[in-house]
Chains A and B, each alone.
Chain A
Amino acid sequence: GAGVSQTPSNKVTEKGKYVELRCDPISGHTALYWYRQSLGQGPEFLIYFQGTGAADDSGLPNDRFFAVRPEGSVSTLKIQRTERGDSAVYLCASSLSGGNYGYTFGSGTRLTVV
């Protein structure tokens, strides 16, 4: 696609529920990144994929968070047993390998846990 697409744009869920957030990167971009942005803060790194594998998942806050990218393109961020503190905008970015060309971000998914 022309840009990075994230769906849904907004998600409201009840505390304790499971949610999936989807990211469709730019075609041909092998690197994919998930970030979380809380109100008034900069994006915080969650996980980085190079192809199908998670090259670095050191930013995932706990084992309730998991992400996959089974075919090396679309990625899904999964959050189990959601908590109110998980409320944030979840951003996805993609880049050609190495990031030399910059990182293109999607518009994000605003997750609200009530």
Chain B
Amino acid sequence: AQSVTQLDSQVPVFEEAPVELRCNYSSSVSVYLFWYVQYPNQGLQLLLKYLSGSTLVESINGFEAEFNKSQTSFHLRKPSVHISDTAEYFCAVSGGSGGSYIPTFGRGTSLIVHP
């Protein structure tokens, strides 16, 4: 079985400040890890993913996440946030080779960027 924990339900931050959204997972097999973003009244959009290889993955809009196997974490970071980054962020895990391809999602973290 696999599960995802997003400890922070809400993260308020000022514009241009750095931010970290935490994600921890549990799984008995190798994993694929994902971050999705959901803007108000919209569907989930893939932000970035880790499948294999380099443990640091980046998105096109300045977010990055690092896979840490020993800490079973996949925290999302951005060095300087914008107002437009205000959204709900979901971490998800699915099984890698031999595991379940059904992604399991965390409950989400609401990022609120203040001017």
Contact = CB atoms under 8 A, between A and B. Distances in A.
A99 B101 contact: yes
A98 B107 contact: no
Contacts of B32: 99-100
A109 to B, nearest CB: 11
Contact of A42 (B45, B101, B107): B107
B43 interface: yes
A91 interface: yes
A48 B102 contact: yes
Interface string A36-61: 00001111110010000000100000
Interface in B4-48: 4, 6, 9, 32, 34, 36, 42-46
B58 to A, nearest CB: 15
A102 B42 contact: no
B102 A45 contact: yes
Interface of B: 4, 6, 9, 32, 34, 36, 42-46, 49, 51, 90, 94, 100-108
